[in-house]
A and B are shown apart, each in its own frame.
Chain A
Amino acid sequence: MASINIKLNQEKLGQLQAICKEFNNDKGELINVLHKAQHLFGYLPAEVQEVIAQELKTSAAHVYGVVTFYSFFTMTPKGEHPISICMGTACYVRGAEKVLDEFKRILNVKVGETTPDGKFSLSCLRCVGACGLAPVVMVGEKVFGRVSPDGVKDIIEEYK
């Protein structure tokens, strides 16, 4: 009767349960489990959180509390090419906000959103440890350094 109807395909469910098992279904390992689960699914939809709660013998409310507390975890599906703009101090003082505004303008999405075609999602992060290259933008695993607002268009074009 609870409102979340858990629908996952057998293969993904098995993989998710294996992740939990890897951490001995220990609820103290919740954050690690969520990390891996997000890597597997790209995001953490309600049904994934429900399964994790059941496997770790904790409440879905607790899992949801942790997911909504940490900005790394997301419940919206990431785009095919997730774009992250570093908002750490070094990047910020070298104009990261203007770069972000340009991404927002061209893609027409807000931070945390995904473009309707599912291609790009936009997020912010805090320092990737490459302050010498500030301002830094990451697309997927690839790092772009010394990005200027004018260069934003070219980065997007590269993935279109």
Chain B
Amino acid sequence: MIKVKIDNKTVEVEKGTILLDAARKAGINIPTLCYLHLHDLNITNKPAGCRVCVVEVKGRKNLAPACVTECMDGMEVNTHNIRVLNARKTVLELILSDHPTDCLICPKSGTCDLQTLAQEMGIRQIRYQGEQSTYREDTSPAIIRDVDKCIMCRRCEMMCNEVQTVGVLSAVNRGFMAVVAPAFEMNLDHSVCTYCGQCVAVCPTGALTEVDHTNNVIRALADPSKTVIVQTAPAVRAALGEEFGMEAGTLVTGKMAAALRRLGFDYVFDTDFAADLTIMEEGTELLDRIGRHLNGDKTVKLPILTSCCPGWVSFFEHQFPDMIDIPSTARSPQQMFGSIAKTYFAEKLGIKRENMVVVSIMPCLAKKYECSRDEFKVDGNPDVDFAISTRELAHLIKQANIEFNHLPDEDFDRPMGESTGASVLFGVTGGVIEAATRTAYEVFTGKKLEKVDFEQLRGMDWVRRAEVDFDGTPIKIGIAHGLGNARKLLEEIREGKADFHAIEIMACPGGCIGGGGQPLHHGDSSILKARTAAIYREDLGKPIRKSHENPFIQKLYEDFLGKPCGHKSHHLLHTHYFDKSNPVEIE
């Protein structure tokens, strides 16, 4: 341990600690912009590029960036003397001199780190006037790039390359012309972008934002000829409260249902219902493959990979086209929901699919792209019309003058609002495979599961390997979150080194609770942990905790679908994948 004196406070820290962390330990919050550290996930971005965190170190000639300067024994540091404040202000004004000042109408207004800092620093004028760099706006099905607002913090680049290994974003050109862009400055929708939205989740300014569909939803709700149905993904209920000042990890399931009803949705349903349905289909597929494998069928492909996550689906379509026959063919819960809503439920109501609008509330930006895919349309009419993010839902609620915090708890409507504890787990890493295990165990062994909690499948470790005993048959399970970790497992499979039966992949760190459409965490990973804990609490509180015991799912099969993986299910609930790689053509 070494001692450093920061603003006259002495703190003891371990060798190698950066000044920023030592100061935090002393209760001093040095401002940052480019620096990002998600502690529990071991994700760090510290290019020391913005220079906002400069401090004065006694005996050192120049000011030191606190994010990369390690503490030395006996160091004396001042974080807010006039020299530091002047430098910090100058840096900030220089950044702002090449930044649009249209804050009032910026989609990031109110949640922008740069705006907050300018406010805290009391910036009232920008002394530096000059040319501003301009660049075209790039709109894709899910993400908007407005790089005029980019401050070159490189957080998005780090997420895209180091964490996700998607490799779409890179700093290109130099000096004043430098921007973060895809290869050859093509648009995002021509690149291999998966729309995972992790770049949006960490962008400190309005340079990267989601495509906003709230107005489409408002218009649909105002149209008397439309029956508007809403579904909410599991991870939304564990995070929406944050947008209304509640503590991270507050479950707002009941308030959310109440708010959606007040917004005017005709039926307030739950994606969790469709998650139970996913388990029936994916679980059946898993058991079929394992069964055939155990019987010596050499043609069967194992491991089976989950297919709920649209970012992950795009990832393997672009980067592992030789393996597109390994993932489960089950559609994601969002798409299963849309498909059942516009067939089974529309028939029940006696309305045409064209007169039904299905809106989904998602923690995810890739879901916007997923619902626009052609294979999820019937005669041009999409199964899911609009996917809006948790953040967009919060805006809708605020616009409608609903006092969210004072709403009573209400239930979802039936039949498609009924769900089990298993389905809620879809919101966290390891959750889909735990839900599948609960059902697969009972179907495979014919025995009742004594304990439904599979602790060995939980946690935040990037890649997890576990074995579950199916009454004498060991089932090997792999779990990865973050696409870079998915890549590791895929490469193991490709090289024949993996002997898993089933693997769950979620594109976002932490799973959907850390999705690109969630309230911004601003670099605080304890928020992700709190959301995870909330999801497990929700599961624990449910009277039914196994998907196959959901009575409304059982009824859906009886009345409409027949059996899991049967003819009708195959048509409505399964999909296929495309090779989207970039092959070399020989002239």
Contact = CB atoms under 8 A, between A and B. Distances in A.
A59 B168 contact: yes
Contacts of B186: 3-4
Nearest to B317: A1
Nearest to A3: B190
Contacts of A3: 186, 190-191
B194 to A, nearest CB: 12
Contacts of B191: 2-3, 61
B62 interface: no
Contacts of A13: 584, 586
A3 B586 CA distance: 16
Given A2-B192, A61-B168, A7 B585 contact: yes
A7 B587 contact: yes
B584 A59 contact: no
Nearest to A62: B170
B172 A60 contact: no
Interface string B475-516: 000000000000000000000000000000000000000000
A68 B174 contact: yes
B interface, by DSSP: helix, strand, loop or mixed? loop
Contacts of A9: 586-587
* Highest count of chain B CB atoms <10 Å: which of A5, A58, A62: A62
B184 A60 contact: yes
B221 interface: no
B582 interface: yes
Interface string A128-139: 000000000000
A interface, by DSSP: helix, strand, loop or mixed? helix
A6 interface: yes
B112 interface: no
A49 interface: yes
A69 B183 contact: no
A144 B318 CA distance: 51
Interface of B: 161, 166-174, 181-186, 190-192, 318, 578, 580-587
Interface of A: 1-10, 13, 46, 49-51, 53-54, 58-65, 68-69
17 contacts: A2-B581, A3-B186, A4-B183, A7-B587, A8-B587, A9-B586, A9-B587, A10-B586, A10-B587, A13-B584, A46-B184, A53-B183, A58-B167, A61-B168, A61-B172, A62-B167, A63-B183
| Top 7 A-B residue pairs of the complex, sorted by shortest distance between their CB atoms | A59-B167, A60-B183, A61-B170, A3-B190, A65-B170, A61-B183, A1-B580
